Structure 1
Amino acid sequence: MSSKIKVALKVGIIQVNPQIGEVEKTVARVWNALEELEKKLNYDESLYPDLLVFPEFSLIGYHFESKEQIRPYAATGDMKNGPSYELAAKISKKFNCYTVIGMPEIYIDHNDNDREIFYNSSLMVNKEGEILYRYRKSFLYTQDYKWGCEENPEGYQNFDLEFKGKGTNLTTGEKNIDVTLKTGLGLCMDMSPYKFKSPFHDYEYSTWHLDHGTELMIFSMCWLHSSAFSEMSEQTAEEVIEDIEENLKLRNLPPIGSQGDFTFNLDNDDDIERIANPNTTKISYTNLKEPDMQNINYWILRFSPFVSMNIRQEVFDSGLVESQLNKPSQIRRSSYIGCTIEKPWGFEDKQAILLLANRCGIEQKCKVFAGSSNIMKFNGKYQETAYGMDSTNESVELLGGLTLGYEGILLRDVNITVNR
């Protein structure tokens, strides 16, 4: 007989603005922010997080152009060398929590003439400061290719993550039980269509994790704001730089945006105003103390398999699911937009948590990051009127977020009910 287990966690996200060549400054700011967090929690260890998550390339900046440029920042061997692991291990020991942090990795393939393989990786460090799990980015962004990054040959993955004493058996009433959550890590482009060429509605990352029963998804990113210059920009880099510089001058901020002015969001309020997708594809880099709702809504859209969608019954009844599952895809899948062969929505009456840790700030004067780190809960509640695949959809609970432009720490109590 299965039981329903309520899992009560405290999870946190640290949003930072790292710059290339300034690792020590970034580490110092992180420790200053964590010391301030302790003060705000009155040094009460019962209020400390069970899990802290950093963005992709958390300490080193992002826009590297070559292997030689990124090499000094890369972890090697057992991954225990370098500032990223060292910081994560110290934080985990201090707060008695799991810590997730992103960094580059150089792997030596002894089966291929000791060939160096560069990966964009994410580590989970346990409470003893030991590496519990390593994940390598599966889908690569254009910038990753510039420094020779390679795809994760194993693709998406998940694992069991234990939380001691955090569960309550709602069937028997037993409290303070140990519970494991099926957990998956992700890195930025993993959320997008493969090379921006795969069918949008394949939703590779979220489809894989729905199919594999993942209950806790931890996503680290260097996600760009729509005002950033990229290969797809309509403006030239010079025009983008001019707009950004003018905007920063109005706010008395340096060319890298805000740094050191941490915002703390610790009060457990659902403080995000739910709005539908804006009618424009480009939003100016303003309102830096508000979240970037354009990107938040896009992130929700990319997790559509976990979101209530009234069209699913029609898709299920049409027999389209089986034909779609027979089409080639970057992943092996047993669902399509959340529909399975057996039922219209495979996630109905289930729950999952999504942690989105994004960086903020500006690099190279025109690479603008979206910040807006966020904690979401997918509650599995079907709604016949669920039309919007955005923050207005009530099957998505926005538990709290950080701003577009400022470094900060987000801390939330999160409850999830799972079947065991």
Structure 2
Amino acid sequence: MKIACLQFAPEVGLVQQNIQRAEAILQNTRIPSDLDWLVLPELAFSGYNFQSLEEIRPFLEPTASGISTQWAQQVAKHYHCHVTIGYPEITVPETNPHDLQTQYNSIVTISPQGMVLNHYRKSFLYYTDETWASEGPASKSHNLSNPASPDSPFFAGELGTLGKVTLGICMDINPYKFTAPWSAYEFASRAQAAQSPVICVSMAWLCHLTPLELAQDPSQPDVATVAYWVERFQPLVEARGEKPVYVILANRCGMEKGVCYAGSSTVIKIEKGVVSLYETAGKSEEKCLIVDLADRPKFQVRSGR
């Protein structure tokens, strides 16, 4: 399976400019003809750092039918691959009577034929999300064709020809509201229970670096962030499973209103208690990271305790 993570620096509210920015990166990348999956960050084209519902309202998109979904459909058909993209959703009750009108931080996944395969609403909200979004309802997972059971958080299931996948958005890998026990590992435990060989997380992950530190060695990853991500999948490491599990962490980079993002999009492999890293983008690098999961990872990150 060949994976591409489109890491770039969108700016709040500049939708058309952000689209042009993403397209320029794709055009300057040698995209393999047999690419399987292109993954974009959380709230890819709207930007992330909105402080209220009123501020984000002009950029809300109807469920799986707004500008982000339309763009993903065009790109999926152009590259003949699956595309997953994050966007700010507003439900339209007259279109889907089961939905009351509300807002979600969502991702939509499109098939190579341009069809909507899956729509997932973020389960665990970060502080910024809470200013405008609701948690994903009931199961906190919404598959347009096959809803998950009400007691199953996150999405874990078949995703087109990609096979069994667990999907999440950024804060989903953290303890719920940062009040649940660190050791609960809700997201990793769900992926483990579902026996998903592939895990994908669309992100707008912040970092503690200063703007000056971000600008230094921009092609180098934020090692502390990557180490933190690896730690949040510890149950899969400790399981020491014989079959490999691949984790795709597609983050954004740049700054918004003084907030710094970690970049460092990463693809890792967990097998027999060993975590190996295929590739990592730099902390301030705008690029399309391409990884072939059939290749050998570049180096070992850690082994299970």
Give the TM-score, by structure 2 length.
Answer: 0.86
CA distance in structure 1 between the aligned counterparts of 2:201 and 2:5, rounded to whole angstroms: 10
Confirm whether residue 197 of structure 1 aligns to residue 179 of structure 2.
yes
1:5-404 to structure 2, matched below 5 A, reads 9-37=1-29, 40=30, 45=33, 48-77=34-63, 79-82=64-67, 84-109=68-93, 115-154=100-139, 155-163=153-161, 181-227=163-209, 244=211, 247=212, 284-285=213-214, 286-308=216-238, 345=239, 347-364=240-257, 366-379=258-271, 381-382=272-273, 395-404=274-283
Is the CA contact 2:42–2:170 (under 8 Å) kept in the aligned structure 1? yes
- Read off the aligned partner of 1:396 and give its amino acid letter: V
Is the CA contact 2:105–2:133 (under 8 Å) kept in the aligned structure 1? no
CA distance in structure 1 between the aligned counterparts of 2:12 and 2:203, rounded to whole angstroms: 16
Is the CA contact 1:109–1:117 (under 8 Å) kept in the aligned structure 2? no
- Read off the aligned partner of 1:138 and give its amino acid letter: S
Q: Deviations over 1:158-177 (max 9, x none)?
A: 121343xxxxxxxxxxxxxx
Q: Structure 2 vs 1, CA of residues 113 and 414 (structure 1 numbering), >3 Å: closer, same or farther? A: closer
Is the CA contact 1:66–1:148 (under 8 Å) kept in the aligned structure 2? no
CA distance in structure 1 between the aligned counterparts of 2:160 and 2:9, rounded to whole angstroms: 31
- Read off the aligned partner of 2:288 and give its amino acid letter: I
Name which structure has the greater RCO, CA cutoff 8 Å, separation 6+: 1
Structure 2 counterpart SS, 1:409: strand
- Read off the aligned partner of 2:43 and give its amino acid letter: F
Is the CA contact 2:25–2:286 (under 8 Å) kept in the aligned structure 1? no
- In structure 1, the gaps of 5 or more residues are 1-8, 164-179, 228-242, 248-283, 309-344, 383-394
CA distance in structure 1 between the aligned counterparts of 2:129 and 2:294, rounded to whole angstroms: 35
CA distance in structure 2 between the aligned counterparts of 1:406 and 1:356, rounded to whole angstroms: 15
Larger radius of gyration: 1
Q: Structure 2 vs 1, CA of residues 132 and 151 (structure 1 numbering), >3 Å: closer, same or farther? A: closer
Q: Shift in Å at residue 68 of structure 1?
A: 2.5
CA distance in structure 2 between the aligned counterparts of 1:198 and 1:297, rounded to whole angstroms: 20
Is the CA contact 2:278–2:291 (under 8 Å) kept in the aligned structure 1? yes
Q: Structure 2 vs 1, CA of residues 158 and 113 (structure 1 numbering), >3 Å: closer, same or farther? A: closer
CA distance in structure 2 between the aligned counterparts of 1:293 and 1:360, rounded to whole angstroms: 14
CA distance in structure 2 between the aligned counterparts of 1:409 and 1:114, rounded to whole angstroms: 35
- In structure 2, the gaps of 5 or more residues are 140-152, 296-305
Structure 2 counterpart SS, 1:116: coil
Is the CA contact 2:124–2:135 (under 8 Å) kept in the aligned structure 1? no
Residue in 1 that maps onto 2:149:
none
CA distance in structure 2 between the aligned counterparts of 1:403 and 1:31, rounded to whole angstroms: 19
- Read off the aligned partner of 1:371 and give its amino acid letter: G
Is the CA contact 2:117–2:160 (under 8 Å) kept in the aligned structure 1? no
Q: Structure 2 vs 1, CA of residues 114 and 60 (structure 1 numbering), >3 Å: closer, same or farther? A: closer
- Read off the aligned partner of 2:254 and give its amino acid letter: G
Q: Deviations over 1:234-279 (max 9, x none)?
A: xxxxxxxxx63xx2xxxxxxxxxxxxxxxxxxxxxxxxxxxxxxxx
- Read off the aligned partner of 2:108 and give its amino acid letter: L
